[in-house]
Structure 1
Amino acid sequence: EAELVTWLVKVGDTVEVDQLVAEVIKDKATTELPSVVKGKVSWLGASPGDRINVGSPLIRFLVDGDGVETKISTPSGSSATPSTKEPIATPVDTSISDVPVAQPRREIAEETPEIIPANNGHGRPLASPAVRRRALEANIDLHLVSGTGPAGRIGHDDLDRFIAGKVTPVKSTANLATEITDIPVIGLRRTIAERMSNAKAHIPHITYVEEIDVTEVERLRKALNERFSSKKPKLTLLPFLVRAIVAAIAEQPELNARFDDDAEVIHQYSAVHIGIATQTPKGLVVPVLHHAQSRDIWNCAEEIKRLADLANEGKLDREDLTGSTITITSLGALGGVVSTPIINYPEVAVIGVNKMQIRPVWDGSSFVARNMMNLSSGFDHRIIDGWNAATFVQRIKSLLEEPAMIFIEGV
């Protein structure tokens, strides 16, 4: 079926060949239908909004020709109804007959007036159905014909000149790729798709973005790495963020939870099991840093590295991938300025790490260069109110901006 969008003519109008008479839509694509004849509109077979079976009569014209008497009825299966009385041609000095306009093809593509040559080899050349039919009958590739109409549209005159040999054929350089590769969504990719769809279908997300000055925590991280490089695992920002999240959860335990929306029960956990979203050659996985509240910063770094290595090798076991109560997601240097992370259902919060950048920051008397980073965090708005979400992120911000506080219990 196609849907009639609008008529561009009315009964009694005289039209020329290729004059646009209607707009129809099919498969979300709109196309304009041109007339294939010169004549007078005698009958419109549908009203705007009607659905018409492809191939059903849509419009009829009275044109010069042999006199005939024609009776038109709405085809079976069509929901369209004639908007005017069916015409019956009567003999006159110049006899007339009814001719139907060609109906939309199965594939309808809207022709947009881009100012490009019609025969540039990219996509379908601009031409009316009548011109295409002539070209097909003459075994002519329209990519080789230069169009002189608007936006390089090929008309009958262009086709006539090409057939007569008055125009030097354009050498086709088209490399038209028509192959379609079907890739089954299976394995890990299927699991990722199901989990993402489940999260977006169930959770009304609220995103909260905050700018954080990480100059001091970065200075501390580098100093610790230099001092303990031979004795301790290398520190990244993540262990500091983990410890800040643990401290913030101690003040707001409702963030460390899972929501069973079927049973309408919130499961709030005393242990903090932090999922670390990790990109692998096979796709996204979320290994879990279990009992983060019991680990110091060095142990966090060691366990995060172990999980990342196993993830990239595809050797994570079920225990490593289950049980998270809140998740961190980070793309590192590719983290962008802002993101809208999707919550790891059925958790109620996700913390998104964006990339660090040196930015000028006003310190009250002058602009100074500071290492800045955004946290883009998502929360389940059914469970976490906006105020509570903001309070949680602000607590993480304060700890990262004064990293010494991370190491002091109860502060």
Structure 2
Amino acid sequence: MGEFIIKMPDVGEGVAEAELVEWHVKPGDPVREDMVLAAVMTDKATVEIPSPVTGKVLWLGAEIGDTVAVKAPLVRIETAGEDGEPPPDSVPEALADAVLEEPVAVSAPPTAKAPPKPEKAEPRQAPPPREAQDIARKPLASPAIRLRARESGVDLRQVTGTGPAGRITHEDIDLFISRGAEPSPAQVGLVRKTAVEEIKMAGLRRRIAEKMSLSTSRIPHITYVEEVDVTALEDLRATMNRDRKPDQPKLTILPFLMRALVRTVVEQPGVNATFDDHAGIIHRHAAVHIGIATQTPAGLTVPVVRHAEARRIWDCAAELNRLAEAARTGTATRDELIGSTITISSLGALGGIASTPVINHPEVAIVGVNKIATRPVWDGAQFVPRKIMNLSSSFDHRVIDGWDAATFVQRLKTLLETPALIFVEG
């Protein structure tokens, strides 16, 4: 029999470590060549690690959530032949199909774990029979005490016995009732729950947490909320959807907002920017790369509609749909998840009345879309029903003054309330 050590591969792009986010095997499991053993996440991608050999897993070198350095031992496999050589440092072919996630900062790597020496397994003591476990959990009390407890609605499992061997006495019942104990859950049909589930934060959820912490700790946010009458916009959208061609996507409000953003940042270029706060340099971008915050089964990602300034309304909608689907299915490429210059956050019908969106660092602005609601609006003579939507927008107050933030949002409001202006060239 031989032993094969699989090390953390070099996944490229100068990555020195990766976070272990999933194990597909455990010690003692048989594995075959090309079988996926684990998944690791770098700051750019989630990568599956296959087995180059067939054998049995002897040892795992990390736990989910651990950060493992490149070339650190990851798995030991018992093989049928002689001792194998460690796999080459190059990325296996199977890693070429990595699933990319939202780029975020990587946490500092802990010391790589070294494989422990194999120890002789000691026999495990068999657990006590279920009957013995039930007896151990059963409170010690006489039949009279049990009858009184049932009549009083007292759960004896909640009573501390002071008698011999922890036996419950009448005095214990009196003390329990005097303290205002609730009736027995069994009597009222309710059961107290005391379980606590521990969920280790790992993978994309950990990356999101790090990204949010970075944004909120380093960016002084200012949030500006304004209501927008989108009655005319909704009428136009309904008409365009009714008359759209078979190959054209259905329009939501987002493509209109994207085009309005393109028009607005021409007048307010400081909003379409990123801020390198280490170097103290603001980068104002001519290109408008709009990040769209998208909820996926794995967590929040931000695919990017590139060069929105060069896209018409239908093109914006088609690209938006394509990227959202790629993000939800985990097939978005690295370039589709980085490089945004301004972000839109929308929860659709769950958007609420107002929100305080967190800026996507290192950008300086994010536009939050709240839900549309029909509200009565006074037109000077009477109340009329109008479709109202709030925009909740956050800005980096180091870069954007309150006046400029308000001017930006008011210009968006004008374009959305008079949607014909969105399509005026020039």
TM-score, normalization by structure 2:
0.59
Q: Which residue of 1 aligns with 2:338?
A: 322
Q: Which residue of 1 aligns with 2:241?
A: 225
Q: Which residue of 2 aligns with 1:76?
A: none
Report SS of the residue matched to 1:254: coil
Deviation at 1:246, TM superposition (A): 0.8
Q: Which residue of 1 aligns with 2:230?
A: 214
Deviation at 1:172, TM superposition (A): 9.1
Alpha-carbon separation, structure 1, partners of 2:320 and 2:313:
11
Report SS of the residue matched to 1:373: strand
Q: Which residue of 1 aligns with 2:167?
A: 139
Q: Which residue of 1 aligns with 2:148?
A: none
Report SS of the residue matched to 2:222: strand
Q: Which residue of 2 aligns with 1:346?
A: 362
2:210 pairs with 194, 213, 231, which one? 194
1:390 pairs with 406, 417, 423, which one? 406
AA aligned to 2:362 is P
Q: Is the contact between residue 120 and residue 174 of structure 1 (CA under 8 Å) also seen in structure 2? A: no
Counterpart mapping for 1:343-382 below 5 A: 343-382=359-398
Report SS of the residue matched to 2:210: helix
Deviation at 1:232, TM superposition (A): 1.9
Q: Is the contact between residue 307 and residue 316 of structure 1 (CA under 8 Å) also seen in structure 2? A: yes
1:149 pairs with 155, 178, 182, which one? 178
Report SS of the residue matched to 1:209: strand
Q: Which residue of 1 aligns with 2:200?
A: 184
Distance 1:182 1:138, change over 3 A: closer
Q: Is the contact between residue 161 and residue 169 of structure 2 (CA under 8 Å) also seen in structure 1? A: no
Report SS of the residue matched to 2:162: helix
Higher RCO structure (Cα 8 Å, ≥6 apart): 2
Structure 1 residues 166-189: Cα deviation after superposition (integer angstroms, max 9, x where no partner): xx9x96977443433332211111
Alpha-carbon separation, structure 1, partners of 2:196 and 2:323:
37
Alpha-carbon separation, structure 1, partners of 2:250 and 2:278:
43
Q: Is the contact between residue 256 and residue 313 of structure 2 (CA under 8 Å) also seen in structure 1? A: yes
Q: Is the contact between residue 255 and residue 316 of structure 2 (CA under 8 Å) also seen in structure 1? A: yes
AA aligned to 2:162 is R
Structure 1 residues 69-89: Cα deviation after superposition (integer angstroms, max 9, x where no partner): xxxxxxxxxxxxxxxxxxxxx
Counterpart mapping for 1:66-215 below 5 A: 132=160, 134=162, 138-140=166-168, 145=173, 147-149=176-178, 151-152=180-181, 175-215=191-231
Q: Is the contact between residue 220 and residue 398 of structure 2 (CA under 8 Å) also seen in structure 1? A: yes
AA aligned to 2:382 is S
Alpha-carbon separation, structure 1, partners of 2:276 and 2:311:
28
Q: Is the contact between residue 119 and residue 145 of structure 1 (CA under 8 Å) also seen in structure 2? A: no
Q: Which residue of 1 aligns with 2:280?
A: 264
AA aligned to 1:353 is V
Q: Say what the alpha-carbon RMSD is for the aligned residues.
A: 2.9
Report SS of the residue matched to 1:375: strand
Deviation at 1:301, TM superposition (A): 0.4
Q: Is the contact between residue 281 and residue 312 of structure 1 (CA under 8 Å) also seen in structure 2? A: yes
Distance 1:227 1:179, change over 3 A: same
Alpha-carbon separation, structure 1, partners of 2:275 and 2:354:
26
Report SS of the residue matched to 1:379: strand
AA aligned to 1:209 is V
Alpha-carbon separation, structure 1, partners of 2:238 and 2:253:
10
Distance 1:383 1:175, change over 3 A: same
Q: Is the contact between residue 365 and residue 393 of structure 2 (CA under 8 Å) also seen in structure 1? A: yes
1:291 and 2:307 aligned: yes
Q: Is the contact between residue 292 and residue 345 of structure 2 (CA under 8 Å) also seen in structure 1? A: yes
Q: Is the contact between residue 154 and residue 182 of structure 2 (CA under 8 Å) also seen in structure 1? A: no
Structure 1 residues 47-82: Cα deviation after superposition (integer angstroms, max 9, x where no partner): xxxxxxxxxxxxxxxxxxxxxxxxxxxxxxxxxxxx
Deviation at 1:351, TM superposition (A): 0.3
Deviation at 1:268, TM superposition (A): 1.0
Structure 1 residues 307-349: Cα deviation after superposition (integer angstroms, max 9, x where no partner): 0111111110101000001000000001111111100011000
Q: Is the contact between residue 287 and residue 322 of structure 1 (CA under 8 Å) also seen in structure 2? A: yes
Deviation at 1:152, TM superposition (A): 4.5
Alpha-carbon separation, structure 2, partners of 1:171 and 1:221:
58
Deviation at 1:231, TM superposition (A): 4.2
Q: Percent identity?
A: 54
AA aligned to 2:242 is E
AA aligned to 1:364 is G
Unmatched 5+ stretches in structure 2: 1-151
TM-score, normalization by structure 1:
0.61
Q: Which residue of 1 aligns with 2:259?
A: 243
Q: Which residue of 2 aligns with 1:10?
A: none
Deviation at 1:265, TM superposition (A): 0.9
Structure 1 residues 186-219: Cα deviation after superposition (integer angstroms, max 9, x where no partner): 1111111110111011111111100000100010
